[in-house]
A and B are shown apart, each in its own frame.
Chain A
Amino acid sequence: MRGIERSLSKLNEVGIRPVAISIDTTEDSRNLAQSQGYTFPILSDRNAEVIRRYDVVHTKAGINGEDIARPAEFLVDSSGTVRWIHLTENYWIRATPEQVLEVAQQLGR
């Protein structure tokens, strides 16, 4: 997400709005945004309802055994249609801004 923040102006230029979602409280998310300098929206899905609906739930993987989100990225176009997904196979490998920018070029005006 640091890479996304660094490329935020480029992403915004091509009309892409990054949004982060986790089960953290709004307060924890606010602290994360402040400490890391994130300026994109960060949403709190406390009960993992949206996370479950997108089937990106990692059951009982939280520190206290809660259901949390697995790392996953979806690029949704303005009609609400998925144009690109990135479901990493290894937790340490995430989507890069370059990948997102490449797909963004293909989204029509």
Chain B
Amino acid sequence: MKEVMENLDGDKELLIECFDEFLNLMPQTLAEIQSAIEQGNASSLDEAAHKLKGSLKYMAAAHAADVACQLETMGRDNSLGAAYDILRNLYDECEKVKDFMERYKAGI
């Protein structure tokens, strides 16, 4: 949390707004990533994974951001061989982030 608050200049109100933005964004972006993998569309995978990675980094979700980065690299290199495995991993990591955010919001 310390790292997130540094990214947000210690603004708790902004933190909640960002959590809400992220929770809105996450299902849609994960769906975009899945669709890109299913269609073998490397550039779409690159773009969607890059966007999700950026948001995850602001939320200091380092592990989830690393997984998104792996998919981004696969997209950029047009090498989608193991993409489904990484996607499952990403879903799991994003679910953890979502749980954390929802618990945090509920505790406020």
Q: Do A and B come from one complex?
A: no
